[in-house]
Structures are given as structure tokens and as C-alpha cells.
């Protein structure tokens, strides 16, 4: 046993100078001896001092040269006194030896390479490279010039070895006494407690780390965004209803019933309860009217609007469904300007890949006031995104059923060195606002973006499934850093 061997050696010799040499001489694995030394050191049976030494070992190519000779020597040896043709010499030693040995043989002025014939320039040579490699194998000393030469040809590599030198400690004994951790009734009855060695208490030792809750990166970014919205004077909308009717999710937004987004391939419809029973009938009638024949300066969509389609329940596809409810409630009171925002989950029937999930989060902001223009929207967007650290913005015209004009928002990504789409925006159409009962001069500017995209950029995550869902690594949750957007 390694422990008995170490203690016995120290009892006879007083110290153990080299743990590696000791392991080799006594037939132990060095790791086993190191573990014993560390354990004995912990109980102060010994005092161990770690050392590190460096030596050189042969690479695979170096081992080949040490066994068979260097390429230049083998090439020289293959050339007869009368000389040999290049082609015959290459066939004789092989293309690798010929290629590697040719340069060094000429550099050493051993051979003369003619156009057709190779001849010896000297009669005898010594294989210095093989001699140097053999010395290193035998752990003999080699001068620095030789080391540099072999390093340059990548024939040797530096190896770092760690070991321990050991001397007796204050508790040294030729045999370790097993320390007990508790005093039992039997020890007291037998009286052997006087001879027991008790394990010392380590009052400086740390206890097990307590497990507690950790904030998900999405929650940290969400909290920071919420702070930014509130600093800008926005009020948070209630978003606790994941189930919404098609009416508030689509129809109230002036989105036609034949729109592709309302298909089951894009939307999750509920089976139970499949329909809603609570809609404001007078408002429903005005929405039906504007869809079918228009009004408020619009021609509508000229189709037969169906109440049963509007009644269908679904998992909301965007938080704009909440915005439509809030604006309708605002219209039922004497008008007062409002700033609303929301950050919550939405659901879409999409194929899951590294950038898409069927369940994700949407950030939405809107301002409702008299006389707002597209210029106001651009100004608010620049203010909002500058607080996120995005000062370089571009806007591109786009189409949305419920906003006109509409714009896509792009920001220049310094890491990707290109413009990246970060959100969508626009002004709600009169066909959406006026049926609610809002005053004619009231305009609503709004924008939205996902929560996942900025979070992935901030935390260097390139697969959304690593951020949100059942494949998320809990280590990411425990070790993610604080969200610093808006603090620079």
C-alpha cells in the first residue's frame, strides 16, 4: 500500500526528495503517491512541498529519427560512391525522406544535386540529429544550440512535470491512526476514549452552498426594459390572458378574416372552450361594418364578415390584442393621452429551429394622443432604442394590416458589421381607432420587437432553444451576468 510505503520510507530516511523517483522505484503510479502525500499533509503527518520541472520529450517524428536516423543521413547513405540519378534516389528512399532530407543534406554540404545525377561531396558524415535525439531519450544533457535546432524542426516538445518533496510533520507516525469524528457511549463505557485521536474541527471550512432561485436572462432583460419604459413615462398593460378571441386578436385590428395569419397553420386555435361569449355588441357591429363596406374614409375589404370566425378562441399571436382592448376601454371615457407598454408571451404555430419557437415574448409600446405624426414615432423610437445602446437606426417602409404608414426598424450591429432588423412600427389605422369611439384627431403610434433577440445578442447565445425551453442548460441560468443595457 502506497501510504505504508511513504510513511515507512520517511521513518527510515527522514525525508522523501522526489515523489516521481519514489513512485518509479517502488512500483506505484505517481498519481496514487500524490494522493497519499496530500492526505498525509492534510493531517500534518508530513509537510509536502510541490515542485515543477521541465524536460524535453521526442515528438512522433523525433522518435522516428532517433530509431532510423535523420532524413538527410538516410539520403546520404543511399547515394553510392559513383552517384545516382534523382529519380532512382527518390524511389530508393521514398518521397518523404527524399523531400525532408534533400534540403538539409545540401545545407550540410554532404551532397551535390545535379540536374540528373546526385553525388557525394564528402566520404563520411555523422548523424548529429540522431545523436542529439538519443541523448534526450536517455535524459542526458544537450547544449542550447542542439535544443534550438531540434525545436525548430519540431522533433522535441517541452514537458512540464509536477511532484512533491516531503519531510516529517508534527503529527508524524510510522502508522496512521484513524481519527474518529464522534465520541460514542461505548467509548465512554470501555474507557478507550483516552487513547482515541479525534479529527479536528475546521471552523474555517465553508458549508454546502445554499440552493436558491436564479433569475433567467430573459427576466433580467425584461426587468431592465420595464425600467426603461417607466423612465419614459409608460404604463404597463395587463397581459395575464394568454387565451384571446379572434375578434380582439384580429378583427378589432382591421385584419381581414381571409388573412393567412388566421389560418390554423400559423395560429393555435382552442378546442375547449372553442368560442367566446362576451363581446361588446355595438362595437362588434361597427367593426363588421368597416370590414364589409368601409367607412371613416376607407372602402373596407368588401367581403362577408362572419361572426363565428370572430368568436373563435386562440392563443394570442401578439400582445397587440391587449392594446386593442386597452384602446377600446380608453375610448369609453373622456379622452386623456396615454402611454402603454407590455412584455409577455405570445404563441404562433411555427416550425422550431435555432431562431424560431412556437412560444416567445413580444415587447410592445404605444402612445395615444392628439395630432401625433410619423415624425413623433421616429423620435420616440430613437429615444427608446438609444436607451438600449442602439444609436444607429434606419427605417424601411413596410406593410401591416392595422398600421399605415408602417416601418421596419434596423440597427447597425457592431459585432456582425451589418444592419440587423430589430422591430416593426407604425401608426394605427383610422379603420381600427374610430370604430372604438376615439376622437377624430387622436392618433396612435406603436412599435414592437421580440425579447429573445436582444437577450441572445447580450448573452452571446446563437440558438434560441438554449435560451428558452426544455433544452435550456441550468448552468446558464445560475451563472449569467447582470443585464446592463441602458446603463452605459
Q: Per-residue pLDDT tens for 197-212?
A: 787 788 888 888 777 7
Domain boundary among 125, 156, 188: 125
- Region 320-345: mean pLDDT is 94
392: pLDDT confidence band, cut at 50, 70 and 90? confident
CATH of residue 87's domain is 1.10.10
**Integer Cα distance of 127 and 145 in angstroms:** 16
Which pairing describes strands 418-428 and 442-450: parallel, antiparallel, or unpaired? antiparallel
Backbone dihedral region for residue 202 (phi beyond 0: left; psi -120 to 50: alpha; all else: beta): beta
Burial (CB count within 10 angstroms: exposed 0-12, middle 13-18, buried 19+), residue 154:
exposed
Counting Cα atoms < 13 Å in the Cβ hemisphere of 477 gives: 17
- Confirm if 163 and 19 have CB atoms less than 8 A apart: yes
pLDDT above 70 covers what percent of the chain? 98
Same domain? 364 vs 229? yes
Does 59 fall in a domain?
Answer: no
How many helices (H) and strands (E) in the chain?
Answer: 20, 15
Does 200 fall in a domain?
Answer: no
Q: How many angstroms separate the most distant Cα atoms in the chain?
A: 114
Q: Where are the alpha helices (DSSP H) in 70-216?
A: 71-77, 86-93, 95-107, 128-137, 144-152, 185-190
**Integer Cα distance of 5 and 27 in angstroms:** 11
User: What is the span of the domain harbouring residue 79?
Assistant: 74-125
Instruction: Enter the DSSP assignment of 43.
Output: T
**Integer Cα distance of 229 and 340 in angstroms:** 9
- Does this model's pTM top 0.75? My answer is no
Does 227 fall in a domain?
Answer: yes
- Confirm if 101 and 79 have CB atoms less than 8 A apart: no
pLDDT tens string 124-163: 999 999 999 999 888 888 899 999 999 999 999 988 888 9
Same domain? 305 vs 453? yes
Please state the φ and ψ torsions of residue 370, each to the nearest 5 degrees: -80, 140
- Region 361-378: mean pLDDT is 94
pLDDT tens string 5-31: 888 888 888 899 889 889 888 899 999
Same domain? 257 vs 382? yes
Q: What is the pLDDT of residue 44?
A: 85
Does 380 fall in a domain?
Answer: yes
- Confirm if 464 and 374 have CB atoms less than 8 A apart: no
Same domain? 223 vs 121? no
Same domain? 114 vs 233? no
- Top mean pLDDT of 11-20, 25-34, 336-345, 381-390 is at 336-345
Does 297 fall in a domain?
Answer: yes
- Region 85-105: mean pLDDT is 89
Instruction: For the sheet with 117-120, list strands across it.
Output: 84-85, 117-120, 111-113
- Region 220-249: mean pLDDT is 92
Residues near 148 by beta carbon (within 8 Å), at least 6 away in sequence: none
Domain boundary among 63, 90, 125: 125
- Confirm if 369 and 443 have CB atoms less than 8 A apart: yes
- Confirm if 248 and 312 have CB atoms less than 8 A apart: no
Residues near 42 by beta carbon (within 8 Å), at least 6 away in sequence: none
CATH of residue 451's domain is 3.30.930.10
Q: Where are the alpha helices (DSSP H) in 306-429?
A: 307-311, 320-331, 374-386
Q: What is the pLDDT of residue 485?
A: 56
- Region 206-230: mean pLDDT is 85
Same domain? 100 vs 228? no
Does 147 fall in a domain?
Answer: no
What total number of domains does the chain contain? 2
Does 353 fall in a domain?
Answer: yes
Three-state DSSP class for residue 405: strand
pLDDT tens string 65-79: 999 999 999 999 999
pLDDT tens string 307-322: 999 999 999 999 999 9
Please state the φ and ψ torsions of residue 182, each to the nearest 5 degrees: -150, 155
Domain boundary among 84, 100, 125: 125
Q: What is the pLDDT of residue 420?
A: 83
Does 163 fall in a domain?
Answer: no
Amino acid at each position: 500500500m502506497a501510504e505504508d510505503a511513504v510513511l515507512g520510507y520517511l521513518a527510515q530516511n527522514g525525508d522523501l526528495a522526489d515523489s516521481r523517483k519514489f513512485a518509479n522505484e517502488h512500483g506505484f503510479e505517481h498519481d496514487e503517491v500524490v494522493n497519499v502525500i496530500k492526505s498525509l499533509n492534510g493531517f500534518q503527518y508530513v509537510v509536502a512541498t510541490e515542485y515543477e520541472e521541465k524536460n524535453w520529450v521526442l515528438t512522433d517524428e523525433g522518435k522516428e529519427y532517433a530509431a532510423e536516423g535523420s532524413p538527410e543521413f538516410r539520403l546520404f547513405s543511399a547515394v553510392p560512391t559513383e552517384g545516382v540519378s534523382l529519380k532512382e534516389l527518390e524511389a530508393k528512399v521514398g518521397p518523404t525522406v527524399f523531400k525532408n532530407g534533400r534540403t538539409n543534406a545540401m545545407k550540410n554540404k554532404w551532397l551535390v544535386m545535379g540536374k540528373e545525377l546526385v553525388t557525394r561531396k564528402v566520404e563520411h558524415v555523422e548523424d548529429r540529429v540522431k545523436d542529439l535525439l538519443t541523448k534526450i531519450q536517455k535524459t542526458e544533457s544537450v547544449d542550447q544550440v542542439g535544443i534550438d535546432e531540434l525545436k525548430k524542426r519540431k522533433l522535441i516538445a517541452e514537458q512540464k512535470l509536477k511532484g512533491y518533496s516531503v519531510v516529517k510533520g508534527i503529527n508524524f507516525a510510522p502508522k496512521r491512526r484513524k481519527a474518529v469524528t464522534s465520541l460514542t457511549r461505548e467509548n465512554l463505557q470501555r474507557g478507550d476514549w483516552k487513547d482515541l485521536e479525534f479529527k479536528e474541527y475546521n471552523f474555517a471550512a465553508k458549508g454546502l452552498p445554499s440552493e436558491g432561485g436564479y433569475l433567467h436572462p430573459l427576466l433580467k432583460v425584461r426587468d431592465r426594459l420595464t425600467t426603461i419604459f417607466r423612465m419614459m413615462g409608460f404604463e404597463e398593460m395587463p397581459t395575464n390572458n394568454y387565451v384571446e378571441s379572434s375578434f380582439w386578436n384580429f378583427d378589432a385590428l382591421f385584419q381581414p378574416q381571409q388573412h393567412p395569419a388566421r389560418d390554423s397553420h400559423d395560429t393555435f386555435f382552442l378546442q375547449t372552450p372553442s368560442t367566446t361569449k362576451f363581446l361588446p355588441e355595438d362595437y362588434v357591429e361597427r367593426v363588421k361594418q368597416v370590414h364589409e363596406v368601409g367607412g371613416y374614409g376607407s372602402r373596407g375589404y368588401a367581403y362577408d364578415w362572419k361572426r363565428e370566425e370572430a368568436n373563435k378562441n386562440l392563443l394570442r399571436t401578439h400582445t397587440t390584442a391587449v392594446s386593442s382592448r386597452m384602446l377600446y376601454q380608453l375610448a369609453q371615457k373622456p379622452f386623456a393621452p396615454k402611454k402603454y407598454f407590455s412584455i409577455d408571451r405570445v404563441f404562433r404555430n411555427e416550425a422550431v429551429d435555432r431562431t424560431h419557437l412556437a412560444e416567445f415574448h413580444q415587447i410592445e409600446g404605444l402612445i395615444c394622443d392628439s395630432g401625433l405624426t410619423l415624425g413623433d414615432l421616429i423620435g420616440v423610437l430613437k429615444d427608446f432604442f438609444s436607451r438600449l445602446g442602439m444609436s444607429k437606426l434606419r427605417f424601411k417602409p413596410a406593410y401591416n394590416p392595422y398600421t399605415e404608414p408602417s416601418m421596419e426598424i434596423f440597427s447597425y450591429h457592431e459585432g456582425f458589421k451589418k444592419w440587423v432588423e430589430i422591430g416593426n412600427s407604425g401608426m394605427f389605422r383610422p379603420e381600427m381607432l374610430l370604430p372604438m369611439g376615439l376622437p377624430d384627431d387622436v392618433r396612435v403610434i406603436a412599435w414592437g420587437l421580440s425579447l429573445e433577440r436582444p437577450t441572445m445578442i447580450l448573452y452571446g447565445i446563437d440558438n434560441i432553444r438554449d435560451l428558452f425551453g426544455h433544452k435550456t442548460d441550468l448552468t446558464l441560468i445560475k451563472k449569467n451576468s447582470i443585464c446592463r443595457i441602458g446603463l452605459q
